[in-house]
Amino acid sequence: MKTGSPADPGRADKLTVETTSPTMTPTKAATTTPPTATPSAGPTVKPQVPAMGGIGIPPANERPTATGRGSPLDFGSTMAPTTQADEMVYFTIQVDFFAGHEAEPQTEDIKAMICQAQKFFAKTLQTAVSPDVTMQAYNIDWEWKDNAALPSIVEFFADVRTADGAHVPAATVFAEMEKVDVKQFVQDYIWMSEVYKENIFYQTEDIFFAGQYSGSPNPPDVGEGKIQVVECAP
């Protein structure tokens, strides 16, 4: 796996981080309990307008009507307990691509990008919280919106845990991820998604990165993700 920022001249200078979403916001919650064999669960995020390089959710009066990809469901026997969803932060990554490279991401593109996101989350939280922290993206969903400012939307729960399987408090995860350098996230991780330079996310030019959790004033609706988890190489 390659590491470090691509050296293509001018790419980093063109990269833009949005502070509000021109498209949509998270629309679902976890539908099943995360695997217990792989420790990795986490946080809860309270909505707020993000600073440059941070995360957040625009105030309700600035948020467009969400059109969830999954059918609305109530928590039941096939759903994660409410406490499980409460312990995970829900993140959205919305991007636009460089001119001439606008194309809907394929499932393999998204899986590879999620693997990179997990690496970024884990490294960030291992430094800020505990060196034994792991992160698993869970209940992953995505959508393509033609003609939108940020047409590619990928959403997931961050299941963040310590080695003993305990959840890292959602508020802690949100607080730490709010501080991240989103440009570094793109250059050192998203752009590096396999297959390197062939994955459509290598063409990411504009990004909105936000988080939210169920204890917030505007919690995500319950819905179904297209993929529960992604298996990533070590």
The pLDDT value given to residue 163: 95
Q: How far apart are the first and last CA of the chain?
A: 10
pLDDT above 90: residue 191: yes
More confident residue, 76 or 57: 57
* CA 212 centroid distance within chain: 10
User: What is the per-residue pLDDT for 214?
Assistant: 64
Per-position DSSP letters for 60-129, written without gaps between them: GGGPPPP--SSPP--S-TTS--HHHHHTSEEEEEEEEE-TT---PPPHHHHHHHHHHHHHHHHHHHHHHT
The owner of tokens 């393509």 is: 144
Q: Which pLDDT does position 231 carry in this prediction?
A: 93
- 60 confidence band (pLDDT: 50, 70, 90): very low
- Judged against a pLDDT cut of 50, whether residue 44 lies above it is answered with no
Closest CA to 208 of 13, 20, 15: 20
3-state class (DSSP) for residue 46? coil
Q: Given a cut of 50, is residue 16 above it in pLDDT?
A: yes
Length of the chain equals 234
